[in-house]
Amino acid sequence: MTSTAFGPAELLNRLRARSAAAADSPITHVERVPPRPGRTVPWPGWVAPSLRESLAIPGPWEHQVAAATLAHEGTHVVVATGTASGKSLAYQLPVLTRLLTDERATALYISPTKALAADQLRAVARLGLDGVRPATYDGDTSREERDWIRQHSRFVLTNPDMLHHGILPGHDRWASFLRRLAYVVIDECHAYRGVFGSHVAHVIRRLRRLAARYRGAPTFVLASATSGDPAGAASRLIGLPVAEVTSDASPRGGVTFALWEPPLLPPSPASAAAAPDFSEMSGGLAEVELPQVRRSALRETADLLTDAVAAGTRTLAFVRSRRGAEVVATVARRSLDEAVPGLGARVAAYRAGYLKEDRREIERALLSGDLLGLASTNALELGVDLVGLDAVLICGYPGTRASLWQQAGRAGRSGGEALAVLIARDDPLDTYLVHHPEALFGRPVEMTVLDPANPYVLGPQLCCAASEAPITEADLELFGGDVAREAVRGLTESGALRRRPSGWYWTHPGRPDVDLRGAGGPPVSVVESSTGRLLGTVDHGSSHMMLHTGAVYLHQGVSFVVDDLNLDDAIALVRQHEPEWSTHAREVVDLTVLGVREYVDAGPVGMFLGDVEVTSQVVSYQRRRIGSGEVIDTKPLDLPVRDLRTVAVWFTVSPAALEAAGIEPADFPGALHAAEHAAIGLLPLMATCDRWDIGGLSTANHADTEAPTVFVYDGHPGGAGFAERAYATAAEWLRATRSAIDACGCETGCPSCVQSPKCGNGNNPLHKEGAVSVLDVVLTELGRPRRTPDRPAQPPSPA
């Protein structure tokens, strides 16, 4: 190993050479994205001279001026262009010009992450503009700073959570700011999707309502990565017509994008023992060991990061889970220190749940070049300005093409050449994509899906609005019209709201407890019991899997064992320990059909979309020996049952049709289970989600359908639009699922086709050939002329 810096092309050759000894190259495809020149235009005459001088750039890009001019003229606008295309300047020009030319005006900037807001604060502060007084207002802001910001700051940078929990409930203290509010900037607005996006849409409507109450009428400027129908998505988010600017005029360096499939390990006990268990699922079940398995994507990513840092290449590795990011950083540090003592210190992990001081120090070290390598969750996917990165490693498909290109775009931000490598996990979708590059390259990115009419979102948000100021009849149009009227009627009947001549009032003394991100409760604090030191936090929804008693918890490369999880107090007590095992929680799931919205009657096959209730409980965990994966023991857990009312898509197949396809009744459970796993793995190809957003259940005879059934459901209260998308594209979705299973070279099923890293039954039973036969039956019958009833009241019985 040397410390000589390598360019992206040289680095790819170096990485390729590292695996030259393998029978098959791990690189399945290399896509070359050519460089592109930029198109500049003259400065608009309305831009404040002091701002133009402070920016010190020769000329803006064409799309920056197009979006900025629309906003300057009072038109709500979204600029949707590629990573590093200078979207920040598109909103800085109108916003800062207004603040410089109107000493009373204020502006609000909203980003989905604290890191992005802090980065934007640095960018604006560097301009040194008199009188703007920018400041971040988030959960890390001290009480003294908050008072000063309310009174003096004219450009407040915050996030939806703080807007929801802090600014809007205390709007009377923000009255002056809201009255003079000229612009609202919503950065990285494509991140507001699903249930979270639906909640944020109502937070924005509440902001608009309160600003109007103080006679404020701001112009909205939104910035997005390239996405399908950005104007439509932005309009749904803010509830107003939005113009779009999508033609990217910025220069771009060339990108070399490689698809990388980790090699198969030799089918021998020695090699199996030498392959550590690097399961990505925090506390979840690892893949079942087979005679021949692929090398872990996490280990492969760690080795590639090691080689990149050793070559002097500044590299960011995106890893799907918090635990995975810790593992990649730890393995890379150890490997580097073995080769060059001290070099491992130039690699770190970065993820949500770190304390503010830790996050800021890591960001500073990366920007200064003290760090050469960083393993991060998607916390750094968004537009934090990481100038100087040469390469990006993406450990596992991030769920959407939009996120894939957003992450890849972190490299080459100075206009130079960049390298991006997608390392496939043992997962049906990842395997499919690295062998079908046409599904990634040359295709448009997905639309942003959100549904403000979701009753599980609308009702609680109306309660929040009523607690801030009585809801009037006119307000109901802002919140959705007829659906809002129906929701208010139900809330009034339940006693949550009370009707008075001046409007609907919140009836309780405290504020409504509404969680924007669907975590199901407050974050759980992780505390070292011997010192009382706060290590970090874990969202409530993940705590049962990650922080159950006995769980191994990783923090900045150090292992801790959980001694106690107190969900009432939202605290987990841990002690430092380096056990010789990893822990893997087991969850059991049950599902009840509440109603059918739509269905297709295809003879022996039925395809359904409807409402379901899912109950789940983490009941036990396994301890598995590190290295061999051997199960040491299984320990029971006593954690509460969790209920979820959501939307599902499901299909039924008659037993006779399964037997006619050659599937024995004893194999029904395994065939359906394998088809369910693969279908969940391939759904992100059709919907804007990843497999962790959705769940599934399969059974040879479900009580509600009275037939062999496979369910796939949204993992969010009220649904998130994923099941609807699956239903709308059922034939294409299931055809891709069948192709992925059939094309896999394994004999009985593996993580690349029908095994799932999140299976609550330990990937048992599974019947790979039976899954192909099940999907053949479904696709054949769905391909025949369809009979679609108008308004089904009951699911039809299978033929």
> Which bin fits 680, alpha (ψ -120 to 50), beta or left (φ > 0)?
alpha
Per-residue pLDDT of 510-540, as tens digits, reads 899 888 876 566 789 999 999 998 888 887 8
Structure confidence at residue 684 (pLDDT)? 79
Contacts 24+ apart (CB under 8 A), 35-41: 35/251, 35/252, 35/253, 35/254, 35/417, 36/251, 36/252, 37/251, 38/249, 38/250, 38/251, 39/249, 40/249, 41/65
Compute the average pLDDT of residues 470-482: 95
Per-residue pLDDT, 585: 86
pLDDT digits over 623-652, tens only? Answer: 988 766 678 999 999 999 999 999 999 999
Query: What pLDDT is stored for residue 280 in this prediction?
Result: 37
CA dihedral 424, 426, 432, 433 (to 10 degrees): -20
Dist CA 11 CA 26 (whole Å): 15
Residue 747 or 67, more confident: 67
- Which pLDDT does position 659 carry in this prediction? 96
Burial of 44 (0-12, 13-18, 19+ CB in 10 A): middle
At residue 278, does pLDDT exceed 90? no
> How high is the pLDDT of residue 786?
55
Confidence of residue 793 (pLDDT cuts 50, 70, 90): very low
Structure tokens at 208: 């608009």
Higher pLDDT, 363 or 501: 501
CB atoms within 10 A of CB 199: 28
Query: Does the structure show a pLDDT above 60 at 3?
Result: no
Q: Is the pLDDT of residue 392 over 90?
A: yes
pLDDT of 11 > 80? The answer is no
Model confidence at 271: pLDDT above 80: no
Res 722 pLDDT > 90: no
Q: How many CB atoms lie within 10 A of CB 91?
A: 27
* pLDDT > 70 in the chain, percent: 88
Lowest model confidence (mean pLDDT) among 152-161, 575-584, 766-775 = 575-584
Adjacent-strand bridge partners of 447 = 228
Q: Provide CB contacts within 8 A for 372, sequence distance 6+.
A: 309, 312, 313, 314, 315, 346, 347
* CA dihedral for 121, 126, 132, 133, sign (positive or negative): positive
Report the residue count for the chain.
799
What percent of the chain shows pLDDT beyond 90? 55
Instruction: Assess whether pLDDT exceeds 90 at residue 745.
Output: no
Average pLDDT estimate for 609-615:
96
* 790 or 408: which leads in pLDDT: 408
Q: Which residue has the higher pLDDT, 760 or 332?
A: 332
pLDDT at position 359: 75
Beta-carbon neighbour count of residue 462 at 10 Å? Answer: 27
CA dist 436 → 335, 399, 756 (Å): 33, 16, 21
Lowest mean pLDDT, pick from 236-245, 317-326, 771-780: 317-326
What mean pLDDT comes out for the span 276-293? 40
User: Looking at the predicted structure, is the pLDDT value of residue 287 above 90?
Assistant: no
Q: 669-709, pLDDT tens digit by residue?
A: 999 999 999 999 888 778 766 666 789 999 999 999 999 99
Q: Tell me, what's the pLDDT at 285? A: 32
Going by pLDDT thresholds of 50, 70 and 90, the confidence category of residue 96 is very high
